[in-house]
Structure 1
Amino acid sequence: MPVEPSSNDVLQQIEFLWKLKSSITSSDTVAVIVSLLESPLENLERDAFTEDDWKLVQLVLTLFRNILAVQDISQQQKAGGMASQFVSLRDRFLELLFHENVMDIVLVITQHIGDSRSYLCHDNLLLLEIFHYIFMGQEPELIANAYSKGLKVDGNTAGSLNSLKSIMEEEEEEKKRLSRLRNMSRHSQFSGTFTQLTMDGSVAVLKGRPTSTSCKTMLKPHNPRGPVKKIAWDHGTLPSTKDKILELLHDFVNQFLSGGYNVLMQSIRENIEKEHPSIQKSDVVVFFQVAQFAISFQYHKSSISKSLAWAQKQIQLKLPLIKMLIAHSSKVMFADPLQHQ
């Protein structure tokens, strides 16, 4: 279950939950749990789904929801260099769920949510949370970009495009480097009073230059509770960058949007409109977050598809000109500077 922010041992709880997630990821636990669903899923396909089947499925889904929800990383843990390890563990757990067909099971169950006669219609909020935690921290644009990596283009076209892209990136990096140098010299003499977030999550008032190591603390916050530390949370996104995970998520989101998305969101929207007692404010927030992710993914996917189609057409038409520009740029980049004086 999620950590209670007001408790005194938040960091210990987070560490324990991450260790639990690591233990499950490194064992055969998921495979064993999935095997328990074989009979209920068969009954679901045969329209012989019983209440006992539903209770077992609900229990398993709740377990996976709780493990997926283990994503909190405090500022202290980030400062200790743990963020990359936690993100890697999150990705490995997602990959495990794909490998053990848990994601496929979630998609299948979601498609049965719309049947009011089914026991599963009561689990729409549970499934919504599962999708929410799967998408949490991910960038829809990165996942949509996984689509473009699977497209094949002509070898000469791809080579020319990559060369041109490389030259443009080098020029952009050079511009950024010069801009940073100008800014550093422009602001190097500025000093004053500013605040800084300390390791324990509190705020200290400092005097001097923000980039200077000789800044003196003018005022430290008073801590009347003694050793109890404030937890500084960072809710910024830490998206997956591994191609394999992004491709798996891309296919998963596509199947979700083409299958159970409308069914799930429609059932929850009806509950929201009717002000169903089971709906809480947090459920409404999660509902719109999942919807926002889906819309953003679809937008980026459509934009990328159109851009790639247009770019490939333009490259085919202007391939000779691109080759000439690349050759000219290469000569300029590697020319002797003294020749231009």
Structure 2
Amino acid sequence: MSLKSCLGAAFAAVALLASPAGAQDAEKTLYFYNWTDYYPVELLAKFEKETGIKVILDGYDSNDTLLAKLQSGGASYDVIVPSDYVIPGLVKDGLLMKIDTHAMSNYAHMKDAFKNPEFDPRHEYSAPYLWGVTGLAYDSAQVPGGMLEPSWKEYFEPRPELAGKIAALDTASDEILAASLYLGIPQCTESNEDAARILALLQAQKEKLKLYSSDSTVDRMASGEVAMHHLWNGATARATAQRDTIRFLYPKEGTPMFRDNFAVPANAPHPENAKIFINWMMAPENAAAVSNAIAYANAMKSDEFLSDQWRKMDAINMPEDFASRLVATQDCNGKARELRDRIWTRLKG
């Protein structure tokens, strides 16, 4: 890529023709690191056909896994998908490349509500991918009376008939934030006393859980393997499409909202291909294709391309009066993170 920029397009073309086939193939490659089951692979075929760039997709299960991978320098990816609260730290640590999303042609299709986010005010380092909430999914057919209260109490202090039929997410940030909301504790607390209360709640709940897992969540709910799952709204909607007795709760104590974004690591081997992909994904029809496939809302003006299937579900179309329950995830400082890690280590140890 440096040869192209130095010698110009004409000389670059000559160099490309003269280079070995393997090197040419490398230039037409994109390494994409995304959350597991968070992108329709059939859309990659469309991208490859339209651009000639081959995509190699790898998956992870949490922001913590992504951070560990980037901080270790153990792998080189071109496009990653960090959540909103993770981005400021990545920028501060020099782990992201500036891509100036606001200068890309398809930026014009972004909804105004998603422009100038507090975590990347000018969209210099990121572009919006999908957004949603993390709440509680339950199978009304397995719940006596068919209904649960919209409260974290149903999850942390479950009814006796649900004990052993509950799945938790296997991510410290999700579980500890939910516990904090239920207990009325600030999500970035630095208090040892607060940490002790959170740990006690999680330890008491642990014996009533079936498992911790952030993978195969849709299949787990759709099959009826569990009666309740701490879960994302999009995964709940996809499970509901297979099992219509599933319901979604927006807990009244606070429902975490997430905004996931495309970004490019500082050591990306194919940054220009990454920019092509990100701009391509901001085209409304492509953004809608993702939403239609995995049931999460996107930030682009894509409504005309969206399926009616998801418009009928509360898990996707949140009732307006629940808006006050939404809580943005905060980027906690070092001490708060250390407390979180200690809680999780004690809990899972």
Report if TM-score (shorter chain) is over 0.5: no
TM-score where L is the length of structure 1:
0.23
- Higher normalized strand content (fraction of residues): 2
TM-score where L is the length of structure 2:
0.22
Which has the higher Rg, Structure 1 or Structure 2? 1
- Higher normalized helix content (fraction of residues): 1
